[in-house]
Amino acid sequence: MDFANEIIHGDCEEILKQFPDDSIDLIFTSPPYADQRQRTYGGVKPDNYVDWFLPKAAQFLRVLKPTGTFILNIKERVVDGERHTYVIELILKMREGQGWLWTEELIWHKKNSYPGKWPNRFRDNWERLLQFNKQKKFNMYQEAVVVPVGDWAKDRLASLSETDKIRDESKVGSGFGKNVSNWLGRDKVYPTNVIHMATECSNKNHSATFPVDLPAWFIKLFTREGDVVLDPFVGSGTTALAAIQLGRRHVGIDINEEYVQLARKRITETQIRMPIIAEAPDKAYPTVS
């Protein structure tokens, strides 16, 4: 079968070996965190997590286009009262051993996380979204995710000083600078690297879900209509649903057959309710057995 617009049952590392090099525009995924989803994914131990993930990351690197982006949603687990370092170790190994560029780290602020009380920490209210690329120049469509300028502009732009009207270079020599007057008359600005989004979603049949708006935000930022979006740990199909709704092609892989069936069912129901925004261009893709 043609892998484009499919949800495939199997181990992503093995399935992706049948994919051609440089064929995916965006990889967005949330793999099982260490010691999580024991019944569905086996529960990888924190000390073994890097070794478990790296062979998969090697396939991600191979199939991702040079202009593509890989977004990894992950969070460290607490072990014996402290955060384990497997996420940091994974970043270093991906950079040093595989050649990934760790371009950015974004934060997903969960606006409605459950309350709780722990003796030595507060509740988790955010998760990492690590951005990796193959090269420094990659596709990024920032205008697709602009946000309202906000109330700060009313006071800040009301009376500009002379220095506000020129590019004010960073005093620490970082190369960054700003010209405040550039924002006069604008009602939209670029967002920050903190994404404020509630955790609610319509799906209640998967052990670890995120809202469809989360992958949709990154799909808009890093792809155009007709591009291919891969989720190698697709779960209940949320990333694929976001891709469909935005007129992108999707590929989902999951080792759990129950979730594959759930994802396919959700996608079928979505396609019945709404047309795909745009027909993707014809492309040659391999078949998988």
pLDDT tens track for 112-166:
777 777 788 888 889 999 999 999 999 999 999 998 876 655 555 556 555 554 5
In this model, does residue 107 exceed pLDDT 70? yes
SS3 116: coil
pLDDT for 77 equals: 83
Most confident of 184-188, 249-253, 268-272: 249-253
pTM > 0.85:
no
Q: In percent, how much of the chain has pLDDT > 70?
A: 74
Backbone angles phi, psi at 177, to 5 degrees: -155, 175
Joined together, the tokens standing for residue 231 give 């989720």
Q: What is the mean pLDDT of residues 87-91?
A: 97
Q: How confident is the model at residue 279 (pLDDT cuts 50, 70, 90)?
A: very low
Say what angle helices 213-222 and 238-245 make with each other, to 10 degrees.
50
Contact between 129 and 103 under an 8 Å Cβ cutoff? The reply is: no
The single-letter code of the amino acid at 27 is I
Please state, rounded to an integer, the average pLDDT across all residues of the chain.
Answer: 82
pLDDT for 205 equals: 54
Any bridge partners for residue 26, and if so which?
Answer: 69, 229
10 Å Cβ neighbour count for 274? 9
Q: In percent, how much of the chain has pLDDT > 90?
A: 57
